[in-house]
Amino acid sequence: MGKESESLIEIEDLHFSYGDNKVFNGVNLKIPRGKVVSVLGMGGSGKSTLLRLIGGQLKPDRGCVRINGRVVHELSQSDLYELRRSMGLMFQAGGLFSDMSVYENIAFPMRELTDLDDDLIHDLVLMKLHAVGLRGTTDLMPNELSGGMARRVALARAIAIDPMLTMYDEPFAGLDPISLNVIAELIRRLNDALRGTAIVVTYDVSESLKVVDYVYLLHDGIVQAEGTSQELLSSEAPFVVQFLHAHPTGPVAFHMKSPPYREDLDMVL
């Protein structure tokens, strides 16, 4: 057998468009095994699209995504489903089943993807909920949870079957500062405990930089910068400085490209 690559995921010369909208124009990045990697970028930079390409929901126009040495878009449907069994995903909006209790939400992937008996599933559900501090919520419905609690339940479901890869799509969006910090620390702690690999896509700079091992910064369809948190914070590249420090002026303009304002007004008149 060949030596296992240090990178669980390798993305090479990735190009992808939605119609005429070019999202990626030659993205290259690697996700090392056992690490927590953050993909940062502004809204519309393609962060969620990148997760869909990794999960095989979308196919690249050019280039490839490899997981464990296998090109995702070349897999058969059965092989793709088998690959997805080793992945966990925390959806951007939580994605809990609204008509299922917290317990049933966590148990769902265990029942769908394993042959475990109910007694063992019961113990595992309690274990996952205990890990996120919500063991007392088993009988609650999603609409009875606060926003922060729902995110923690979604996190517990994402790691329900101890996946080799867990992907977090905007896990910090809409959270209060305390819940946000709790979620960030949980992602770090749970990944270390499971010895898995995690990708966190977000526009939240402060929390992600505290807990990740490596960072990629996407903009204009490519990786504009990469490195450890400290390396990016020390960067003097104009876009990196503007994004990480939330400067209102810089390479990224607030207004989208458009005709001069007076021209637009005159056209209406």
Give the total number of structural domains in the chain. 1
Q: Does residue 17 fall inside a structural domain? A: no
Residue 266: pLDDT above 80?
A: no
Q: What is the CATH number of the domain that holds 119?
A: 3.40.50.300
DSSP state of 250: S
**Amino acid 253: pLDDT:** 67
Domain that holds residue 249: 32-45+81-268
pLDDT-based confidence at 63, cuts 50/70/90? very high
Question: Is 171:183 a contact under the CB 8 Å cutoff?
Answer: yes
Question: Is 213:39 a contact under the CB 8 Å cutoff?
Answer: no
CA 166 to chain centre: 8
Whole-angstrom distance, CA of residue 240 vs CA of residue 235:
7
Query: Locate tokens 């959270």: which residue?
Result: 175
Helix H or strand E segment including 219: strand 214-219
Closest to 6 in 3D by CA, of 37, 51, 47, 27: 37
Q: Does residue 215 fall inside a structural domain? A: yes
Question: Is 90:154 a contact under the CB 8 Å cutoff?
Answer: yes
Q: Does residue 16 fall inside a structural domain? A: no
DSSP state of 73: G
**Amino acid 121: pLDDT:** 95
**Amino acid 254: pLDDT:** 64
**Amino acid 173: pLDDT:** 77
CA 186 to chain centre: 14
pLDDT digits 0-9 by tens, 137-172: 999 999 999 888 888 899 899 989 889 999 998 888
pLDDT-based confidence at 1, cuts 50/70/90? very low
**Amino acid 92: pLDDT:** 75
Q: Does residue 1 fall inside a structural domain? A: no
For 18-63, the three-class secondary structure string (H helix, E strand, C coil) is: ECCEEEEEEEEEEEECCCEEEEEECCCCCHHHHHHHHCCCCCCCEE
Q: Does residue 2 fall inside a structural domain? A: no
% of the chain beyond a pLDDT of 90: 50
pLDDT digits 0-9 by tens, 69-103: 999 999 999 999 999 988 988 887 778 999 999 99
% of the chain beyond a pLDDT of 70: 96
Whole-angstrom distance, CA of residue 36 vs CA of residue 38:
7
Residues ≥6 apart with Cβ < 8 Å to 200:
36, 37, 38, 39, 168, 171, 187, 208, 212
How confident is the model over 183-206, as a mean pLDDT?
87
Residue 45: pLDDT above 50?
A: yes
Per-residue b or e along 51-87, where b marks 16 or more CB atoms closer than 10 Å to that residue's CB: bebbbbebebeebbbbbeeeebeebeeeebeebbeeb
Structure tokens, 153: 């339940």
Q: Does residue 226 fall inside a structural domain? A: yes
Q: Does residue 18 fall inside a structural domain? A: no
How confident is the model over 220-239, as a mean pLDDT?
91
Q: Does residue 15 fall inside a structural domain? A: no
What SS3 class is residue 74? helix
Closest to 92 in 3D by CA, of 25, 23, 153, 151: 151
Amino acid at 170: E
Helix H or strand E segment including 180: helix 177-194
Question: Is 197:212 a contact under the CB 8 Å cutoff?
Answer: no
How confident is the model over 171-175, as a mean pLDDT?
79
Region of poorest pLDDT, from 16-30, 151-165, 174-188: 174-188
How confident is the model over 191-209, as a mean pLDDT?
86
Integer-rounded Cα Rg, in Å, for the chain is 20
Record the pTM: 0.86
